[in-house]
Amino acid sequence: MKLTKENLSQRLDHIYDVIVVGGGAGGLSAGIYLQRYLLSSLIIDKGKARSLWMQELHNYVGLPTDTPGRNLLKQGKEDYLSLGGDFLNGYVEEIIDEGETFAIHVKIGRQNSTYQVFRAKYIIAASGIIDYLPALENMQNVFDYAGYNMHVCLICDGYEMADKKVGVFGNSEGSLQVAFSLGWFTPYITLFTQGLFDVSPEFRQKLQEHGYPLVEKPIKQFLGENHQMTGVELVDGEIVELEAGLVSMGSKYHADYLEGINLERQGGNLITDKMARTSHPRIFAIGDLKVGLNQVVIAAADGALAATQIWRDIRRATGAKRWQENIPASVTKG
Amino acid sequence: MKLTKENLSQRLDHIYDVIVVGGGAGGLSAGIYLQRYLLSSLIIDKGKARSLWMQELHNYVGLPTDTPGRNLLKQGKEDYLSLGGDFLNGYVEEIIDEGETFAIHVKIGRQNSTYQVFRAKYIIAASGIIDYLPALENMQNVFDYAGYNMHVCLICDGYEMADKKVGVFGNSEGSLQVAFSLGWFTPYITLFTQGLFDVSPEFRQKLQEHGYPLVEKPIKQFLGENHQMTGVELVDGEIVELEAGLVSMGSKYHADYLEGINLERQGGNLITDKMARTSHPRIFAIGDLKVGLNQVVIAAADGALAATQIWRDIRRATGAKRWQENIPASVTKG
């Protein structure tokens, strides 16, 4: 059921089999599998899943290619609740490993917040990442285009940029390297440092060879209308015309709540085995938090893997249900 | 486009980047990603994907939990074709490794068959498996219930069997072990050898402890109506009432066409790396053919992995497109 400030006290003494942090595609997939394995689960979601920003989910087989990410999330949440799963809007601040259980400290409500502790045997970290965007004085100007024709994922949206004039917006020389992968889809690439950093002579040489201009002045604002970005106005009033954008400025990992637990990482990503288990035997990580491709369908598959492995762990520790106490020997002898 | 006997001659001289063998969820997912990577692809499908049998796809996040498998396949095929992918109904008989390319020998049409050879640089084996079913004189009696309340996948459908009287149909003692995992969902389990094999004293003892009856007489027919199996009639006329069935008789691997190529296997499954690549650098395997869980969402994710890795291979070998031949030095110096 949907937990609210009014009814959540019913669950404070309950030890869930699994608490899933994050209600995006991965968390919801895990939740659906967990409930179908007859395990008790709670999804705690702070809102704003990365897929919520996606206006069109182009490559999730089975859904029409213009399905907004929010539709997948809505359907998944509905199905999860119909299977008896618990869902709470809240922000997980900290997880404490108590040995047999975890204590999950949650802040509920942005105003007049209350603080509650829930407990579970297993954790699935499905809280994902969020992309850093160009920092302009007026952020609404950025949000107007992000997720429309200002993209953050080359794998997802390279196709949308084919043969278009694309601006690549980075925050380091390394982040701008994505331009050479984008160069598979289009040659009409202009790179923007936003005045944030300098680039090496080698990098300039490589750009020169590819014929990709580099713009090093800060950006005043994006131009466009109806969520279609048509160019950039620089601080000195110069205008660069564009037909699409690719933001490559790294991501914030939503995993501060795991800081007290020592987990193996590779860069910001959690390292997992093939069943999505981290280096802690009762903590799983799925989707964009873990090493691998940041794709909705992969997060959904990760959810299936993590839920299945947790079910196997618990099932093997519990054993099978018994039926007839004294089954006649004749029956088992054919 | 959809290839037919009439138009396929247009493609016989073409070397595809990738030929995907199998048009199930995995193959279609791969195809959608490939087309969005601007690669040329052909899916060759013999029909009868395993998910076509699924009356309700319960755990594919984003689709309502009563979505028939065929709906996912239909939508995926439509989206793949709209992205310019080629699709052919045919049966792949053999694949020959020619070094830079593969020659794919295809039989087209069950009657008045024609035989054609297509070529590709990469292969994605997505041809899956099909479950063996109890072999009765009247197979229609089996097909009436298979995919409804006669299940083949415990992970998918354990939930549907919760607290029901379930018959487990095996073809070896090992195959009947699934009963003890099913015992997580329900205690009311009856096992059927169908008269095909004998079981060990240890196994009888374990059944005795769990109170699960073992029926060793052959089956005459399944009973029921409207696709709901209600029990089994044995050869001697005895009737065992049931509310659901779980068939555990192994699977046929649809991969005979790979026999001439030496690939690493584990049992019948192909071994792949984390990007779904087999031990052959230009052959990928996805979905039920490879080691791992046999789940639609996992096959779909595998398709994304394989397509992405092939794109990376080809992209890196090709390099980025160049734009302006002589970009003014001033532009790249800020």
| Chain B contact set for A181 (CB, 8 A) | 315, 320
- Burial class (CB within 10 angstroms; exposed 0-12, middle 13-18, buried 19+) of A272: buried
Q: Which residue, among A32, A41, A23, A18, has the nearest Cα to B59 in the 3D structure?
A: A32
Q: State the pLDDT at residue A334.
A: 45
Q: Are strands B269-270 and B219-225 parallel, antiparallel or unpaired?
A: unpaired
Q: Which of residues 160-219 of B touch A (CB under 8 A)?
A: 162, 179-189, 193, 204, 207-217
pLDDT tens sequence across A115-151: 999 999 999 999 999 999 999 999 999 999 998 999 9
Q: State the pLDDT at residue A51.
A: 77
Closest chain A residue to B154, measured at CA: A37
The CA angle B98-B24-A153, to the nearest 5 degrees, is: 85
CB contact under 8 A, B36 and A159: yes
Convert chain B into a string of H (helix), E (strand) and C (coil): CEECCCCHHHHCCCEEEEEEECCCHHHHHHHHHHHHCCCCEEEEECCCCHHHHCCCECCCCCCCCCECHHHHHHHHHHHHHHCCCEEEECEEEEEEECCCCEEEEEEECCCCCEEEEEEEEEEEECCCEEECCCCCCCCHHHHCCECCCEECCHHHHHHHHCCCCEEEEECCHHHHCHHHHHCCCCCCEEEECCCCCCCCHHHHHHHHHHCCCEECCCEEEEEEECCEEEEEEECCCCEEECCEEEEECCEEECCHHHCCCCCCEECCEECCCCCCECCCCCEEECHHHECCCCCHHHHHHHHHHHHHHHHHHHHHHHCCCCCCCCCCCCHHHC
Closest chain A residue to B319, measured at CA: A184
Q: Which of residues 86-145 of B touch A (CB under 8 A)?
A: none
Q: Which residue, among B137, B276, B275, has the nearest Cα to B218 in the 3D structure?
A: B137
Q: What percent of chain A has pLDDT over 70?
A: 97
The CA angle B216-B221-B224, to the nearest 5 degrees, is: 120
What's the predicted TM-score (pTM) here? Answer: 0.95
Q: What percent of chain A has pLDDT over 90?
A: 90
Q: Map tokens 């995995």 to a residue.
A: B26
User: What is the torsion angle, in degrees rounded to the nearest 10, for the CA atoms of residue B239, residue B240, residue B242 and residue B248?
Assistant: -110
pLDDT tens sequence across A253-312: 999 999 999 999 998 899 999 999 999 999 999 999 999 999 999 999 999 999 999 999
- Name the average pLDDT for chain B: 94
The encoded tokens of residue A116 equal 């509650």
* Complex ipTM: 0.95
CB contact under 8 A, B320 and A187: yes
Q: State the pLDDT at residue B324.
A: 77
The encoded tokens of residue B56 equal 């309700």
Closest chain A residue to B163, measured at CA: A321
Average pLDDT score over residue span B8-34: 96
Q: Does the pLDDT value for residue B43 go beyond 60?
A: yes
CB contact under 8 A, A320 and B182: yes
First to last CA, chain A: 47
- B15 phi, psi to nearest 5 deg: -100, 110
pLDDT tens sequence across B167-186: 999 999 999 999 999 999 99
The amino acid that residue A308 corresponds to is T
The answer to whether B156 and B181 have CB atoms below 8 angstroms apart is no
Under 8 Å CB pairs connecting chains A and B tally to: 233
Q: Does the pLDDT value for residue A76 go beyond 50?
A: yes
- Residue A214, SS3? strand
Report residue A333's pLDDT band, with 50, 70 and 90 as the boundaries. very low
CB contact under 8 A, B332 and A204: yes
Rounded to a whole number, what is the largest CA-CA distance in chain A? 93
CB contact under 8 A, A327 and B211: yes
The encoded tokens of residue A39 equal 């395990």
* Rg (chain A; Cα; Å): 24
CB contact under 8 A, A213 and B321: no
Q: State the pLDDT at residue A329.
A: 52
- A252 phi, psi to nearest 5 deg: -90, 130
CB contact under 8 A, B32 and A59: yes
The answer to whether B124 and B21 have CB atoms below 8 angstroms apart is yes
User: What is the torsion angle, in degrees rounded to the nearest 10, for the CA atoms of residue B147, residue B143, residue B30 and residue B293?
Assistant: 50
- B45 phi, psi to nearest 5 deg: -125, 130
Question: How far apart are the C-alpha atoms of A28 and B219, rounded to whole Å?
Answer: 41
* Structural domains for chain B: 2-130+251-318 (3.50.50.60), 133-248 (3.50.50.60)
The encoded tokens of residue B54 equal 């699924």
Q: State the pLDDT at residue B331.
A: 53
Closest chain A residue to B291, measured at CA: A274
First to last CA, chain B: 47
Tell whether B301 lies on the interface with A, counting CB pairs under 8 A.
yes
Tell whether B61 lies on the interface with A, counting CB pairs under 8 A.
yes
**Cβ neighbours around B319 below 10 Å, total:** 11
Q: State the pLDDT at residue B327.
A: 59
- Check residue B270 and give left, alpha or beta (phi > 0: left; psi -120 to 50: alpha): beta
Q: Which residues lie across from B124 on neighbouring strands?
A: B20, B284
Q: State the pLDDT at residue B110.
A: 87
CB contact under 8 A, B65 and A82: yes
| Chain B contact set for A162 (CB, 8 A) | 38
Q: State the pLDDT at residue B49.
A: 75
Which residue of B59, B72, B180 is in closest CB contact with A61? B72
Question: How far apart are the C-alpha atoms of B172 and B176, rounded to whole Å?
Answer: 7
Tell whether A74 lies on the interface with B, counting CB pairs under 8 A.
no
Which residue of A210, A217, A325 is in closest CB contact with B322? A210
pLDDT tens sequence across B95-134: 999 999 999 999 999 889 999 999 999 999 999 999 999 9
CB contact under 8 A, A210 and B298: no
CB contact under 8 A, B297 and A293: no
Q: Does the pLDDT value for residue A327 go beyond 70?
A: no
Q: State the pLDDT at residue B333.
A: 45
Report residue B52's pLDDT band, with 50, 70 and 90 as the boundaries. confident
Tell whether B235 lies on the interface with A, counting CB pairs under 8 A.
no
- Comparing A186-190, B63-67, B304-308, B309-313, the range with the smallest average pLDDT is B63-67
Q: Which residues lie across from B191 on neighbouring strands?
A: B168, B214
* Rg (chain B; Cα; Å): 24
Q: What percent of chain B has pLDDT over 90?
A: 90
Q: Does the pLDDT value for residue B325 go beyond 70?
A: no
pLDDT tens sequence across B213-270: 999 999 999 999 999 999 999 999 999 999 999 999 999 999 999 999 999 999 889 9
The amino acid that residue A88 corresponds to is L
User: What is the torsion angle, in degrees rounded to the nearest 10, for the CA atoms of residue A102, residue A108, residue A110 and residue A113?
Assistant: -110
